[in-house]
């Protein structure tokens, strides 16, 4: 076989791996959206069988040999060409997957499912000690995982790399060290001002109208319904079943407007990212976002920088009032804008506003790193958690269900995940500043409800590249610098300075 034939052979094997993964995703989507409860047991087996097939296929010696043989060929290509990147990214992933022994994967899967069950019970009964041994197990498995990737600069690096390829613990710590004092000071300053009202958001809102308004907005954002659909699920999410089928979900709260509305904006950002990937990359490992942080930057850009901006509501508030005249006729645009941007330190991360959100993440990141380093023991976690909540947000959880037990991630062994949410916030603001330089009349466009140039910019700079570039590379290409917290701080200080008169 010559190099071209080997590349064709590699692609056809990778296409099959990809197809298996998409079928796994379809089963997961179905589990959360359509499946009756009785399907749980059978579905777990189906998912395990298909995931196993995918793993065996991807880590085969044949793929390993093809990747090795193709290294000189890749070296002759333009380093940014699709084929060169496919070989590079796949090689990196292959090396990672084959470094992890199968018995570790099996022990991890078991610990994750047991951990999840223990966490559910511990949270329901507010009893951390029920969860403690399972979390200890997950932490020690992750420490063991890091050892497969020696030498590393920091023991947390291999964990972070799962979600943000190429980013180092040191970089993330630097970013958060810069952010922390400013965010804490901002929250304190806001806390000293008069609170804004948002009671008008808590009224009965017809579910069908909520859905129609959300659909109207995301259609304008550029979400393509011929390659997507929206369903209802307990937790909103986006699932790509291929570039021609990128689905979003939401949940409707009959007495609270913000929930479905902003989650629809948010998920459409994830979906527009996937729909914007270059079709040449379809059915390969490049047909997805660059990282979870990059993905979150897109969802938060549409949800927050656009969807919670004053300019956006100049156009859409009269429309929303037409949908809900009874509820909103007497609420001014100014009151509505302040209300949807109300800042209130709270104990629960998923309910946090834009200004306090990153502090919830910093707390988790610091504790994760300390756990993996062995600086903090699992048994001391509730106390460490509560101390930081007091320091950063001025609140102390009255029980562990409202504190250390609130998130599912650690129970399933996801350690290294949380920082991606905060990185997404930072990247979104960094892109936003550049977009305004490149499209000076963007504010006027947003005030007219026009987003084609905005989405076009994002597609050109971010979406079409899929996973060709690592997150820091892609952010640098798009903005001229690596991930930088300064634009996000400028954004928060200007926005909340105006709303709260700081
Ligand atoms: Zn998201």
**159 falls within a domain:** no
| pLDDT score for 350 | 86
Strand order, beta sheet including 238-240: 230-232, 246-250, 238-240
Domain span including residue 285: 169-500
- The answer to whether residues 146 and 177 belong to one domain is no
- The answer to whether residues 174 and 85 belong to one domain is no
Q: How far is the CA of 336 from the centre of ligand 1 (A)?
A: 24
* Percentage of the residues of the chain whose pLDDT score is greater than 90: 91
**161 falls within a domain:** no
Q: Domain end: 91, 119, 151, which one? A: 151
Q: How far is the CA of 303 from the centre of ligand 1 (A)?
A: 10
- CA separation for the pair 158, 169 (Å, rounded): 9
Number of domains in the chain: 2
| pLDDT score for 325 | 97
pLDDT of residue 110 exceeding 90, the answer is no
**188 falls within a domain:** yes
Catalytic residue among 267, 354, 368, 470: 267
**156 falls within a domain:** no
- The answer to whether residues 303 and 405 belong to one domain is yes
pLDDT of residue 44 exceeding 90, the answer is no
- Adjacent-strand bridge partners of 239: 247
| pLDDT score for 45 | 86
- The answer to whether residues 118 and 175 belong to one domain is no
Q: 247: helix, coil or strand?
A: strand
**163 falls within a domain:** no
C-alpha gyration radius of the chain: 23
Q: How far is the CA of 247 from the centre of ligand 1 (A)?
A: 13
Query: Which of 49-53, 59-63, 291-295 bottoms out in mean pLDDT, i.e. has the lowest?
Result: 49-53
Q: How far is the CA of 202 from the centre of ligand 1 (A)?
A: 24
pLDDT of residue 109 exceeding 90, the answer is no
Q: Domain end: 151, 185, 202, which one? A: 151
User: How do 246-250 and 230-232 pair as beta strands?
Assistant: parallel
**162 falls within a domain:** no
- The answer to whether residues 275 and 388 belong to one domain is yes
pLDDT of residue 256 exceeding 90, the answer is yes
- The answer to whether residues 117 and 180 belong to one domain is no
pLDDT of residue 48 exceeding 90, the answer is no
**Residues 6 or more apart from 37 whose CB is under 8 A from it?**
none
Q: Domain end: 120, 151, 182, which one? A: 151
- The answer to whether residues 144 and 272 belong to one domain is no
Q: How far is the CA of 331 from the centre of ligand 1 (A)?
A: 30
- The answer to whether residues 78 and 197 belong to one domain is no
Model confidence over 295-326: pLDDT tens digits? 999 999 999 999 999 999 999 999 999 999 99
What CATH number corresponds to the domain at position 200? 1.10.1370.30
The mean predicted confidence, pLDDT, of the chain is 95
Q: How far is the CA of 296 from the centre of ligand 1 (A)?
A: 5
Q: How far is the CA of 432 from the centre of ligand 1 (A)?
A: 17
Q: How far is the CA of 270 from the centre of ligand 1 (A)?
A: 7
Model confidence over 124-154: pLDDT tens digits? 999 999 999 999 999 999 999 999 999 999 9
Q: How far is the CA of 266 from the centre of ligand 1 (A)?
A: 6
DSSP of 213-231: HHHHHHHHHT--GGG--EE
Model confidence over 395-428: pLDDT tens digits? 999 999 999 999 999 998 999 999 999 999 999 9
Mean pLDDT for the stretch of residues 248-275: 96
Query: Which of 83-87, 113-117, 124-128, 437-441 bottoms out in mean pLDDT, i.e. has the lowest?
Result: 113-117
* Percentage of the residues of the chain whose pLDDT score is greater than 70: 100
- The answer to whether residues 202 and 135 belong to one domain is no
- CA separation for the pair 412, 359 (Å, rounded): 23
Give 22's pLDDT tier (boundaries 50, 70, 90): very high
Q: How far is the CA of 463 from the centre of ligand 1 (A)?
A: 15
Q: How far is the CA of 64 from the centre of ligand 1 (A)?
A: 33
One-letter-per-residue 3-state SS of 127-145 = CHHHHHHHHHHHHHHHHHH
Mean pLDDT for the stretch of residues 52-59: 92
- The answer to whether residues 75 and 181 belong to one domain is no
- The answer to whether residues 371 and 405 belong to one domain is yes
- The answer to whether residues 140 and 193 belong to one domain is no
Contact present, 304 and 354 (Cβ < 8 Å):
yes
Active site residue 267: yes
Buried b / exposed e over 154-188, threshold 16 CB at 10 Å, is bbbbbbbbbbbbbbbbebbbebbeebbeebbebbe
Number of Cβ within 10 Å of residue 420's Cβ equals 23
Q: How far is the CA of 402 from the centre of ligand 1 (A)?
A: 22
Model confidence over 84-103: pLDDT tens digits? 999 999 999 999 999 998 88
**337 falls within a domain:** yes
Model confidence over 471-500: pLDDT tens digits? 999 999 999 999 999 999 999 999 999 999
């Amino acid at each position: 076989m010559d190099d071209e034939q080997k590349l064709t052979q590699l692609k056809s094997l990778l296409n099959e791996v990809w197809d298996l993964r998409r079928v796994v995703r379809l089963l997961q989507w179905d589990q959360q959206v359509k499946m009756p409860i009785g399907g749980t047991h059978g579905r777990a087996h189906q998912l395990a069988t298909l995931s196993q097939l995918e793993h065996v296929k991807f880590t085969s010696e044949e793929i390993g040999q093809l990747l090795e043989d193709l290294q000189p060929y890749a070296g002759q290509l333009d380093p940014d060409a699709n084929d060169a990147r496919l070989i590079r990214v796949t090689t990196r992933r292959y090396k990672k997957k084959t470094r992890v022994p199968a018995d570790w994967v099996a022990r991890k899967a078991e610990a994750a499912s047991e951990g999840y069950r223990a966490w559910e019970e511990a949270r329901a009964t507010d009893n951390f000690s029920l969860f403690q041994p399972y979390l200890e197990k997950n932490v020690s498995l992750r420490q063991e995982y890091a050892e497969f990737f020696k030498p590393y600069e920091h023991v947390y690096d291999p964990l972070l790399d799962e979600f943000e390829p190429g980013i180092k613990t040191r970089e993330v710590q630097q970013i958060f060290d810069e952010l922390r004092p400013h965010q804490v000071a901002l929250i304190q300053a806001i806390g000293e001002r008069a609170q804004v009202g948002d009671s008008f958001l808590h009224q009965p809102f017809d579910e069908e109208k909520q859905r129609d308004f959300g659909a109207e907005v995301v259609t304008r954002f550029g979400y393509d319904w011929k390659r997507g659909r929206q369903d209802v699920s307990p937790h909103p999410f986006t699932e790509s079943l291929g570039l021609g089928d990128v689905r979003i979900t939401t949940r409707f709260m009959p007495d609270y407007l913000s929930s479905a509305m902003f989650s629809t904006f948010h998920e459409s950002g994830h979906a527009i990212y996937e729909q914007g990937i270059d079709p040449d990359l379809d059915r390969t490992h490049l047909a997805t976002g660059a990282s979870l942080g990059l993905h979150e930057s897109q969802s938060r850009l549409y949800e927050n920088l656009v969807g919670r901006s004053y300019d956006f509501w100049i156009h859409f508030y009269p429309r929303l009032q037409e949908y809900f005249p009874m509820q909103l006729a007497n609420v001014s645009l100014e009151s509505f804008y302040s209300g949807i941007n109300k800042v209130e330190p709270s104990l629960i991360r998923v309910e946090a506003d834009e200004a306090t959100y990153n502090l919830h993440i910093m707390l988790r990141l610091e504790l994760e790193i300390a756990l993996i380093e062995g600086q903090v023991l699992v048994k001391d976690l509730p106390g460490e958690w509560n101390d930081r909540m007091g320091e950063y947000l001025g609140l102390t959880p009255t029980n562990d269900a409202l504190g250390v037990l609130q998130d599912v991630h650690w129970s399933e062994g996801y350690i290294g995940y949380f920082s991606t949410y905060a990185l997404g916030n930072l990247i979104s603001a960094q892109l936003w500043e550049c977009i305004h330089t490149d499209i000076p009349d963007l504010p006027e466009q947003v005030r007219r409800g026009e987003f084609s140039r905005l989405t076009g910019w994002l597609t050109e700079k971010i979406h079409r590249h899929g996973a060709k570039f690592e997150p820091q590379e892609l952010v640098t290409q798009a903005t001229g610098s690596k991930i930088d917290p300064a634009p996000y701080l400028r954004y928060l200080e200007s926005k909340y300075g105006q709303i709260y008169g700081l």
